């Protein structure tokens, strides 16, 4: 599970309205007819919230844009939560669309309970927030993906050769175009990461089940009276405001931990240590503990953990058989690979 929480982008090139982001999330529905779909492809996905399905984009834009009382121009009006289940988690689902809707509605309960806020003397509840979610089933390769990074030297050489061919054709450079084209073909095949016989490039659609969740949640509560920021730097604290003691803060760590447990409970998913949020925290705080814990797993769980890491692009050197043999250089080599995989979102933790 890989979860991100991002504030609305507020720059000269981005609108104060949520409309642009809503349009972006409609990209999979563009030119897609409900009754004319390729075999096996999911139908059109609509926005939904805690109680309603098939919510129109117009309503999403209207409700989010009008729920911004007293927010300054430089303050985000909404937050984007992206939930990316791993392929192992997705394999547990019977129906990606319907199951992820069920999970989203349970997840948003975890979201509200992670606020250290009260409204009218009561903890924030699911009815106190305004959100809209959408399931997507496609993903494309980004520049930060490990496959794109590894293929980049080949991409650079191919681009240079193509530029040289154009120069030769214009008479600006001497060279053999046929040989250059042969070099390009060779580089295309030699690139380490391929998909369906083609070099993986930025913008290419990823194969397999890529279902994930986008959630737009208003910065203001449903009554448009108080600000609820999951980007708060405070986990849990109290402050005097206008002579009154007010609770504040959002515990992001608790939210992600709850989200993971909710998924496991909802779908009876047995989570391996290598894909757990706890393992990510162990890795960041104490890499030696992280790898020692991996080695201490029962044999079947350890084998799956190494498989998960290898599938995420982590080069697995010869692994020592016990903790005493866990050499520092092996830890450092593994750490570099895991760190890259985590940053690119390849590991679902």
Give the pLDDT band (50/70/90) at residue 287: confident
Better-predicted residue by pLDDT, 152 or 146: 152
Asked if residue 214 and residue 177 are part of one domain, the reply reads no
Q: In DSSP terms, which residues pair with 131 in a beta bridge?
A: 217
H/E stretch holding 342: helix 328-343
pLDDT of residue 186: 97
Give the pLDDT band (50/70/90) at residue 175: very high
pLDDT of residue 309: 82
Average pLDDT over residues 129-143: 93
Instruction: List CB contacts of 229: < 8 A, sequence separation 6 or more.
Output: 76, 79, 219, 250
User: Into how many domains does the chain fold?
Assistant: 3
CATH number of residue 116's parent domain: 3.30.930
Q: Do you know the residue count of the chain? A: 349
Write down the residue that tokens 């895991």 correspond to: 338
Beta-carbon count within 10 A of 125 CB:
12
User: Looking at the domain assignment, is residue 348 inside a domain?
Assistant: no
Helix 146-169 × helix 328-343 angle, to 10°: 70
- pTM metric for this prediction: 0.81
Residues 78, 173: Cα–Cα separation, whole Å: 54
The domain boundary, picked from 247, 267, 287, lies at 267
- 79: domain range? 2-139+207-267
User: Looking at the domain assignment, is residue 349 inside a domain?
Assistant: no
pLDDT of residue 215: 97
The domain boundary, picked from 158, 177, 199, lies at 199
pLDDT of 101 > 70? The answer is yes
Q: What does residue 71 show for φ and ψ, rounded to 5 degrees?
A: -80, 135
Asked if residue 132 and residue 76 are part of one domain, the reply reads yes
Average pLDDT over residues 68-77: 90
């Amino acid at each position: 599970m890989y979860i991100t929480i991002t504030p609305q982008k507020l720059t000269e090139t981005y609108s104060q309205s949520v409309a642009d982001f809503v349009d972006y999330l409609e990209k999979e529905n563009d030119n897609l007819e409900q009754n004319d779909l390729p075999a096996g492809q999911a139908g059109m996905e609509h926005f939904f919230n805690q109680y309603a399905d098939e919510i129109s984009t117009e309503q999403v834009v209207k409700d989010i844009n009008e729920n911004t009382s007293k927010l300054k121009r430089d303050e985000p009006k909404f937050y984007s939560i992206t939930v990316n289940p791993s392929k192992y988690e997705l394999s547990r689902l019977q129906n990606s669309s319907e199951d992820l809707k069920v999970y989203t509605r349970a997840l948003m309960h975890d979201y509200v309970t992670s606020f250290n806020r009260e409204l009218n003397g009561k903890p924030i509840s699911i009815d106190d927030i305004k959100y809209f979610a959408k399931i997507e089933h496609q993903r494309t390769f980004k520049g930060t993906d490990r496959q794109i990074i590894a293929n980049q030297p080949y991409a650079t050489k191919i681009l240079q050769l193509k530029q040289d061919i154009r120069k030769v054709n214009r008479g600006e450079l001497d060279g053999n175009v046929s040989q250059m084209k042969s070099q390009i073909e060779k580089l295309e095949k030699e690139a380490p990461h391929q998909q369906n016989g083609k070099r993986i490039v930025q913008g290419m659609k990823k194969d397999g089940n890529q279902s994930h969740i986008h959630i737009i949640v208003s910065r203001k509560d449903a009554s448009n009276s108080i600000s609820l920021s999951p980007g708060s730097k405070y986990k849990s604290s109290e402050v005097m405001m206008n002579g009154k003691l007010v609770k504040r803060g959002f515990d992001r760590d608790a939210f992600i931990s709850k989200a993971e447990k909710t998924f496991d409970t909802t779908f009876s998913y047995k989570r391996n240590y290598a894909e757990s949020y706890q393992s990510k925290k162990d890795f960041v705080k104490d890499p030696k503990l992280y790898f020692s814990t991996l080695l201490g797993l029962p044999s079947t769980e350890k084998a799956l953990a190494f498989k998960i890491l290898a599938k995420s692009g982590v080069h697995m050197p010869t692994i020592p058989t016990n903790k005493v043999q866990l050499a520092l250089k092996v830890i450092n080599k593994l750490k570099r690979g895991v760190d890259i995989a985590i940053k690119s979102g390849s590991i679902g933790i």
